[in-house]
Amino acid sequence: MKGFEYLKEELQNMKGEGTFRSLVPLESDQGAKVVIDGREMIQLSSNNYLGLTGHPKMKKAAIEAVEKYGAGTGSVRTIAGTFTMHEEFERKLAEFKHTEATLVLQSGFTANQAILSSILTKDDVVISDELNHASIIDGIRLTKAARKIYKHVDLESLEEALKESADYRKRLVVTDGVFSMDGNIAPLKEIVELCEKYDALIMVDDAHASGVLGSNGRGTVDHFGLNGRVHIQVGTLSKAIGVLGGYVASTQEVRDYLIHKGRPFLFSTSHPPAVTAACSAAVDVLLEEEDLIDRLWKNTEFFKQGLEKLGFDTGKSDTPITPVIVGDEAKAHQLSDKLRDYGVFAQSIAFPTVARGQARVRTIVTAQHSEELLQEALDAFEKAGKELGII
């Protein structure tokens, strides 16, 4: 079909630069090992931290929900698409998060869009960490509020932005709880103290902390003992929780407001019964199977130390996300390709997802990996790293 020659040209350029990447379809479930191109490999690239995508209790809950309530809901939440299970789950999630209320959205991405686009006006300002997730950046693009960007996890830069913005009606400081490309945790206690000092609202996006940090995986707010001091928590049900969805955990007013003004909530259909039932079962799993989180952290320590001992640069991660920083983009892709030859699936990530010269292979271990499997992966890293002169 004629008309897209201009896109073709751009794609061609991407291929020339080596930035064009094909999708990699899995032929198995999302386990510690996956099948790609007919070959079994160790999976080190998923966000399935606790292995919940295949948890038997969650699969059973999903199947039962389909049998009883069907495959879909047939409406947006505000018209005819709210089922009792949606509201029951939101109450359960609020209790779990120690917040007054929650509202579930289709994804973490849309949760950020809903909250950021709705609660601020041109009289307000949003103050955002420079390395916040794309969904926060896009949410900010949708608000008429003024914006300020502070240097990554830099408290002085944040305080400066707070000082400069005294004249606005409301100030909202936004940060990721765990940064997805480096695996570092935001200094939330200090950020909250600054927000309290300057009477600013604080919002934390805990996508990579949900199910990972805090008691039973409640997130960074719980991890730092800050329950009741963070105005808005955004979480995802798509990563460690193993299903799909996002939520805003906050006050009853914020929930009520989003039901009226949150555009993804108003104009996009609600979660199918299988999704909500599986998410609800996941909260039970978090409460009942604390050993999953213990195993995740044990594996994290084992794997991180292994990589460091081999001499790789693993940056400043304090979570199960461990980047292997290579620097050169082509070399990072080569490392990923070699690892794949040796039976390890660990994707390389380059500009624009990370800064130029910071290309890396990003790894995430899960509770499901056995130590033997992780040792096998470390052996592959050693072999590939030596062959490429990285270590």
Ligand X SMILES: *Cc1c(COP(=O)(O)O)cnc(C)c1O
What separation in angstroms does the CA of 354 have from each of 132, 325, 350? 12, 11, 6
241 binds ligand X (CB under 6 A): no
- Please count the CA atoms within 13 angstroms of the CA of 85 that sit on its side-chain side: 22
Residues 57 and 278 sit within 8 Å (Cβ to Cβ): no
For ligand X, which residue has the nearest CB?
108
Among residues 45, 117, 135, 180, which one is catalytic? Answer: 180
Report strand pairing: 344-345 vs 39-43: parallel
86 is catalytic: no
333 is catalytic: no
Which DSSP letter does residue 185 get? B
180 is catalytic: yes
Distance CA 391, CA 383 (A): 9
Please give the residues from 244 up to 283 whose contact with ligand X meets the rule CB under 6 A.
246
- Asked if residue 352 has a cis previous peptide bond (ω within 30° of 0), the answer is yes
Contact mark string toward ligand X, 29..68, x via CB under 6 A: ----------------------------------------
211 binds ligand X (CB under 6 A): no
176 binds ligand X (CB under 6 A): yes
182 binds ligand X (CB under 6 A): no
Question: Which residues are CB-neighbours of 277 under 8 A, at least 6 positions away?
Answer: 61, 62, 64, 65, 85
Q: Any idea which residue has 């996890």 for tokens?
A: 153
Looking at 10-18, 103-111, 281-289, 298-306, which segment touches ligand X (CB under 6 A)? 103-111
- In the list 102, 135, 270, 347, the residue contacting ligand X (rule: CB under 6 A) is 135
CB of 73 to ligand X, least distance (A): 18
175 binds ligand X (CB under 6 A): no
Binding site for ligand X (CB under 6 A): 107-109, 112, 133, 135, 176, 180, 205, 207-208, 236, 238, 246
- Which residues are designated catalytic? 180, 208, 239
